[in-house]
Structure 1
């Protein structure tokens, strides 16, 4: 019925939002566009309806032949699998067709290392971030191919990080650019306060545009590193107050947090950090980070990593610990006095559960297959012995 009478079941093939968008066109153009849209979509709908009809009909016929014992079970299963493959192949090719594939050389040209990239990659520091101001920073898909970046594009960007971009980073990028131009690219003696949030995010390298379409790398010596101990922490009542306050603090010495995280300090009284206390990153990957801390007294460590509590397991010397959110987006952790190994591992409980179910199901399938195979072999042996 869908194939024969498509318009009987659907009064319109143009959505309300599309109709609203078309109202901006001259009235004489609207009706022809609506007619074309409707004809195209009715054609697609009808073609898919006929396609579904024939797949269901062939599948039903195959099952009927099996039930009437006109074909063996193996042939029925093979026919259904082949039919499913044909169905999936046709649909998948709509989204990933031959036209979507290009020569590897064409793709590699987009990601060729520039002299600037090569110079930055010579930096032996374990982990740092790069800010590319020679392109559209927050819609850039090339720089992240070679570096860990401040910008880049992702459709599922965290709302809090977007807030940080809108409230602080966009303004600070302008200030940093002026500082680089004014100092001739040597930032050692410039005032770093106008781009303190970028420093908090460990922005060690900046890519600047140069004449002739080229780029130049600039080292930022004010980047705060992977983690540091702070002298104090302040608590505020709201997210608005928190994001405003980080622009007023010396973030190397102070942190700001929502008051709801105060219990996670577990009684720690944050006092000025001991100058001999150190914390450094030992290992880094996308799903784990390992730090070594030498705290001369109880300290509060701030980590230049985005706070996201779901799935992250934190331990100090193998014992579970709880992190809090500071500076609107970062992680913080109370560290007791002494030498410690701090680990952040992304191990969501949901993944463990689904892995257990998946591997359990696979094991059951294998055992069932082995059982059926052994049963079939045993039956053949029994029949063979009976015949003799």
Structure 2
């Protein structure tokens, strides 16, 4: 896609993985040998700790020199100069509401880091971008579909002014962090879901894949409700909701991960939410006042964390036992 042959890319990745694996194996053997000699009494505790520390420093040093070269470093002045705010940035930062996004229309959506330095940006670069977001960029955002920018809560658009300098324009149709819709439109599959975004009003309609028909049953029209974001953290979102039997759309990416990695709650009770508008979150909320929470709590993370703690505990116990044994043998000697 960028002029590289795929076999060359695979070969480079294979070579990199092989060299990294061999280096890790070598350091592992050296560490194991050090622990063996310590255990058999051929190395003292201090000497063993020094050798293992030296191995760790060597590993870090080799990795650093392999990844970062001297010319990659910038002075603080150089760093700040390349991200100096423009008049448009300063104007947007006057908005006291911190929870909105900005579309910088003067640069590409996938190769811009400047905007993300100052604002929550619609665009930007990431090596592990979600495929559905890339699909939206390719099929809608690159075609400047304002309905899609609005559902992503692009409250401001940076354009080129008459004087050649960036200028900020307010998007009056930005949907906000979350909103209630009047109707749901059921489409047969993901392709139809994407196509439906070509001409729709995100403030009134939510487009839903037929796989979620069970969630909405036969009810396709809903009452209005007010939604307000009250607490924001990348892993924890809290909303205050008041109104009738509503269907809410949240301007956050729907992500299942290994299985319900994002869990929704209504008044503290876990509930299911679905994907709408190809990549956003949708949730049915009963009438009245409610607190809605989205929390990122992947089971795989907590399982891995427990395994990590257990492994670290075992290593610490082994080191304690080996040290205690060394001290006792020295005392008896």
The alignment's TM-score, normalised by the length of structure 1, stands at 0.70
Provide structure 1 residue ranges, at least 5 long, that are not aligned to the other structure.
1-14, 19-47, 174-194
Q: What is the match of residue 242 of structure 2? A: 294
Give the conservation status (yes or no) of the 8 Å contact 2:185–2:220: no
The alpha-carbon distance between structure 1 residues 242 and 320, as it changes in their structure 2 partners (threshold 3 A), is same
User: 1:228 and 1:98 mapped to 2: Cα distance?
Assistant: 49
Q: How many Å apart are 1:305 and its aligned residue?
A: 1.2
Equivalent residues in 2 for 1:312-331, closer than 5 Å: 312-331=262-281
Deviations 1:28-70 (A, max 9, x none): xxxxxxxxxxxxxxxxxxxx9xx98xx89x969x87x959x89
Equivalent residues in 2 for 1:229-308, closer than 5 Å: 229-265=180-216, 267=217, 269-274=219-224, 277-296=225-244, 298-308=245-255
Out of 292, 304, 314, the residue aligned to residue 342 of structure 1 is 292
2:158 maps to 1:207: yes
Bigger-Rg structure (1/2): 1
2:82 maps to 1:110: yes
Deviations 1:192-213 (A, max 9, x none): xxx2221111111011112454
Q: What is the match of residue 101 of structure 2? A: 129
User: 1:16 and 1:288 mapped to 2: Cα distance?
Assistant: 39
User: 1:338 and 1:83 mapped to 2: Cα distance?
Assistant: 62
Q: What is the match of residue 307 of structure 2? A: 357
User: 1:139 and 1:98 mapped to 2: Cα distance?
Assistant: 24
2:114 maps to 1:149: no
The alpha-carbon distance between structure 1 residues 78 and 121, as it changes in their structure 2 partners (threshold 3 A), is same
RMSD, matched Cα = 3.3
Give the conservation status (yes or no) of the 8 Å contact 1:270–1:300: no
Identify the structure with the greater strand proportion: 2
Query: Relative contact order: is structure 1 or structure 2 higher (C-alpha 8 Å, sep ≥ 6)?
Result: 2
Q: What is the match of residue 11 of structure 2? A: none
For the residue of structure 1 that corresponds to 2:232, the secondary structure is strand
Q: What is the match of residue 7 of structure 1? A: none
Q: How many Å apart are 1:88 and its aligned residue?
A: 5.0
Q: How many Å apart are 1:320 and its aligned residue?
A: 0.9
Give the conservation status (yes or no) of the 8 Å contact 1:257–1:328: yes
Count residues with an aligned counterpart: 309
